[in-house]
Chain A
């Protein structure tokens, strides 16, 4: 697998993402500054979390029009695997690679804690090392993670198995109480129609090392390495 991490002004999870990928891949991904107009020859691109452009206008709105994003969109449309985490998820929706939008959390608070996610679709290149229905523990840290899509869009996402992860309790029950930010249908992560683009609010790259408190994020990167080797 050849991997790249896109770096925007205000990205702050880019190095965590680099280390997370390195743990599974055995070597560092290339770090690509947003002003670049070409991507190296890669088969996996990560768009990391942070506060790119200070969240001006709307989260991810400015970054979605950065020069490098034109290339990311091109590669994604050609089948390259793209992962957007947190602000990266917001950027991918603003760039039109994923449906819907991330709105302000329903209770208006910034949420920073570990949450549980139910793996809904375990037959993608991102999720094949999990089992369907499994509850995993992954940290979130966001103010705008309230997933919204119109009724018809939501229906097509559900019908096409595009929901990758839902907020749930420790036992894997998807409930209103477990829905930390008001997301429709408890959605924490979604795939595009072709399942080669994944956006998620929780941070798998932050739990790839037992010394950092857990390894539930590592199977996601292991799965990508296996699929793309």
Chain B
């Protein structure tokens, strides 16, 4: 069993890396790319000993995986 965690910047938080990538895509000739936002994807393997609830994974996000001052997170548990 796995947990898939996406960590993304909150709306309103500037993302200079995203801006730079947006600019670079335009330079490469890819037209029509609007705002680019860069986040993180974290995959966690859940062994038998793990508490496989969404709440448990969300606690991991709040305590370590994301900084909720600037980041949102989204948790998905998959077989």
Contacts and interface: CB of A to CB of B under 8 A. Distances in A.
A199 interface: no
A122 to B, nearest CB: 28
Contacts of A148: 13, 69-70
B39 interface: no
Binding site secondary structure of chain B:
helix
A57 B65 contact: yes
A100 B69 CA distance: 7
A104 to B, nearest CB: 6
B14 interface: yes
A108 B23 CA distance: 14
Contacts of A107: 16
A106 interface: yes
B67 A108 contact: no
B14 A57 contact: no
A212 interface: no
Interface residues on A, range: 10 to 19
A100 to B, nearest CB: 6
Nearest to A62: B64
A38 B74 CA distance: 36
A183 B65 CA distance: 23
Interface residues of B, number: 11
A106 B13 contact: no
Interface string A103-135: 111111000000000000000000000000000
A58 B7 CA distance: 12
Interface string B39-71: 000000000000000000000000111010110
Given A65-B64, A93-B69, A101-B67, 11 more contacts: A57-B65, A101-B70, A103-B13, A103-B70, A104-B16, A105-B16, A106-B14, A108-B16, A108-B17, A148-B13, A182-B16
21 contacts: A57-B65, A58-B67, A61-B64, A61-B67, A65-B63, A65-B64, A93-B69, A94-B67, A101-B67, A103-B13, A104-B16, A105-B16, A106-B16, A107-B16, A108-B17, A108-B20, A148-B69, A149-B69, A150-B69, A182-B14, A182-B16
